[in-house]
A and B are shown apart, each in its own frame.
Chain A
Amino acid sequence: MILAIPSDKESLDSAICVSFGRAPFYCLFNTEEQQNSFLVNSAAESPGGAGIKAAQLLVDNKADLLITFRCGENAAKVLEPAGVKLFKALNLSVADNISAHQQNKLEPLQEVHAGFHHGH
Chain B
Amino acid sequence: MQASIMATDPTIAILSGKGGTGKTLLSVNLSSVAAMATYIDCDVEEPNGNLFFKPSREFEKLVTVKKPVVDETLCDGCHKCVDFCAFNALALIGKRLMIFDEICHSCGGCIYVCPQKALSESERPIGEMSIGHSGSVRCISGTMNIGESSGVPIIEALLKHKDGNLTIIDAPPGSSCLVTESIRLADFCILVAEPTIFGSHNLAMVHQLVTLLGKKHAVVLNKTLEGVNPSEEYCKKNNIPILGNIPFDKRLGKMNSEGRIAAREDAHYHKLFSAILEKALKEVSDETAADPQR
Binds A, one of B27-35, B50-58, B94-102: B94-102
Q: How far is the CA of A64 from the CA of B145 in the complex (A)?
A: 36
Chain B residues lying within 8 Å of A82, measured Cβ to Cβ, are 93-94
B96-111 at interface with A (beta carbon < 8 Å): 96, 98, 100-103
A46, A78, A117, A118: the one within 8 Å of B98 (CB): A78
Q: Are A52 and B89 in contact, with the CB atoms below 8 A?
A: yes
Residue in chain B with minimal CB distance to A77: B98
B131-185 at interface with A (beta carbon < 8 Å): 145-149
- Can you show 6 pairs from A to B with CB atoms below 8 A apart? A48-B103, A52-B88, A56-B82, A78-B93, A81-B96, A117-B102
Chain B residues lying within 8 Å of A119, measured Cβ to Cβ, are 101-102, 147
Asked if A55 lies at the interface with its beta carbon under 8 angstroms from chain B, I say: yes
Residue in chain B with minimal CB distance to A52: B88
Asked if A3 lies at the interface with its beta carbon under 8 angstroms from chain B, I say: no
**Chain B residues near A (Cβ < 8 Å):** 79, 82, 87-94, 96, 98, 100-103, 145-149
Q: Are B100 and A52 in contact, with the CB atoms below 8 A?
A: yes
Most buried by B among A55, A77, A117: A117
Q: How far is the CA of A76 from the CA of B68 in the complex (A)?
A: 21
What's the nearest-Cβ distance from chain B to residue A54, in Å? 9
What's the nearest-Cβ distance from chain A to residue B124, in Å? 11
Most buried by A among B88, B89, B92, B145: B88
A71-115 to B contact mask, C-beta < 8 Å, 1/0: 000100110011000000000000000000000000000000000
Q: Are B103 and A52 in contact, with the CB atoms below 8 A?
A: yes
Q: Are B93 and A48 in contact, with the CB atoms below 8 A?
A: no
Chain B residues lying within 8 Å of A49, measured Cβ to Cβ, are 87-89, 100, 103
Interface residue tally for chain A (C-beta within 8 Å): 20
Residue in chain B with minimal CB distance to A42: B88
Residue in chain B with minimal CB distance to A46: B88
Q: Are B91 and A52 in contact, with the CB atoms below 8 A?
A: yes
B82, B92, B103: the one within 8 Å of A74 (CB): B103
Q: How far is the CA of A77 from the CA of B89 in the complex (A)?
A: 12
Residue in chain B with minimal CB distance to A47: B87
Asked if A59 lies at the interface with its beta carbon under 8 angstroms from chain B, I say: yes
Q: How far is the CA of A55 from the CA of B87 in the complex (A)?
A: 14
A78-B98, A117-B148, A118-B147 given; A56·B103 CB < 8 A: no
Q: Are A48 and B91 in contact, with the CB atoms below 8 A?
A: no
Q: How far is the CA of A41 from the CA of B102 in the complex (A)?
A: 23
What's the nearest-Cβ distance from chain B to residue A70, in Å? 18
Q: Are B147 and A53 in contact, with the CB atoms below 8 A?
A: no
Q: Are B82 and A120 in contact, with the CB atoms below 8 A?
A: no
Residue in chain A with minimal CB distance to B103: A49
Q: How far is the CA of A81 from the CA of B100 in the complex (A)?
A: 15
Residue in chain A with minimal CB distance to B88: A49
Q: How far is the CA of A52 from the CA of B92 in the complex (A)?
A: 10
Top-4 shortest CB links A-B: A49-B88, A117-B102, A53-B88, A78-B91
Q: Are A118 and B91 in contact, with the CB atoms below 8 A?
A: no
What's the nearest-Cβ distance from chain A to residue B65, in Å? 14
Residue in chain B with minimal CB distance to A53: B88
Q: How far is the CA of A56 from the CA of B88 in the complex (A)?
A: 9
Q: Are A118 and B89 in contact, with the CB atoms below 8 A?
A: no
